[in-house]
Amino acid sequence: MRFYFVDKITEFKKGSSIAGIKNVSMTEPFFTFHFQRYPVMPGVLIIESLAQLAGLMIEMSFEPGCYKKAILSIVDKTKIKFMARPGDRIDMKASLESLSEKGAVCETSAAVDGRLLTETRLTFALMDAGGVYDKYLEDERLALIDTLMRDFNSRGEKRE
């Protein structure tokens, strides 16, 4: 089973920045145990949401045919200021600080109703995914990107 914690990409600048949203729904499976009488989104999943958003931006910053997989390796300078609850919409942003063939560093933030939820610095190792290519997983990945980027054309420009 795969868990996707980005519901939509709202801004995208190739090689620079990305923004997206995560709608927190009471139907999320983690609410069964976290916590039954006071459901809150686990902080680690908020960080995972930011990592998924930043990872997509990093992977889409390379030219077509250069398939790199962004692997989260360091989470730094993180403080979660309050807990996200069912019904919240988390607005997420990531900006690329550095990018090379070996890795990338991003500054990320998340907010609910304009209130800062967290900021964190994420470092990714980049793996040449050609050696572990799986057609099914790649097709699934491309379908996910098409869904998340539905408001953008193939050049990453916002559709009117």
Give yes or no for residue 128 having a pLDDT over 80: yes
d(CA 75, CA 105): 10
Q: Which distant-in-sequence residues (6+ apart) come within 8 Å of 64 by Cβ?
A: none
Is residue 1 assigned to a domain?
A: no
Find the mean pLDDT for residues 38-57.
Answer: 97
Are 78 and 47 a contacting pair, CB within 8 Å?
A: yes
Residue 67 pLDDT grade (very low, low, confident, very high; cuts 50, 70, 90): confident
Residue 157 pLDDT grade (very low, low, confident, very high; cuts 50, 70, 90): confident
Catalytic residues, by residue number, are: 34
What's the whole-model pTM score? 0.92
Is residue 2 assigned to a domain?
A: no
Is residue 156 assigned to a domain?
A: no
pLDDT in the model for residue 87: 97
Is residue 160 assigned to a domain?
A: no
Give yes or no for residue 63 having a pLDDT over 70: yes
pLDDT in the model for residue 156: 79
Residue 131 pLDDT grade (very low, low, confident, very high; cuts 50, 70, 90): low
Is residue 142 assigned to a domain?
A: yes
Are 119 and 107 a contacting pair, CB within 8 Å?
A: yes
* Domain span including residue 135: 8-148
Find the mean pLDDT for residues 110-120.
Answer: 99
- Residue 88's domain is classified under what CATH number? 3.10.129.10
Find the mean pLDDT for residues 100-123.
Answer: 98
- Reference 53, options 101, 129, 104; nearest CA is 104
Q: 110-113: long-range contacts at Cβ-Cβ below 8 A with a sequence spacing of 24 or more?
A: 110/22, 110/46, 110/49, 110/50, 112/82, 112/84, 112/88, 113/88, 113/89
Report the number of distinct structural domains present in the chain: 1
pLDDT in the model for residue 123: 99
What order of strands is seen across the sheet that includes strand 17-23?
Answer: 8-13, 17-23, 89-99, 103-112, 115-128, 68-80
Query: What percentage of the chain has pLDDT greater than the value 70?
Result: 98
User: CB-hemisphere CA count at 13 Å for 14?
Assistant: 13
Structure tokens belonging to residue 150: 């539905």
Give yes or no for residue 1 having a pLDDT over 60: no
Give yes or no for residue 80 having a pLDDT over 80: yes
Q: What is the mean pLDDT of the chain?
A: 92
Cis peptide before 35 (omega within 30 of 0): yes
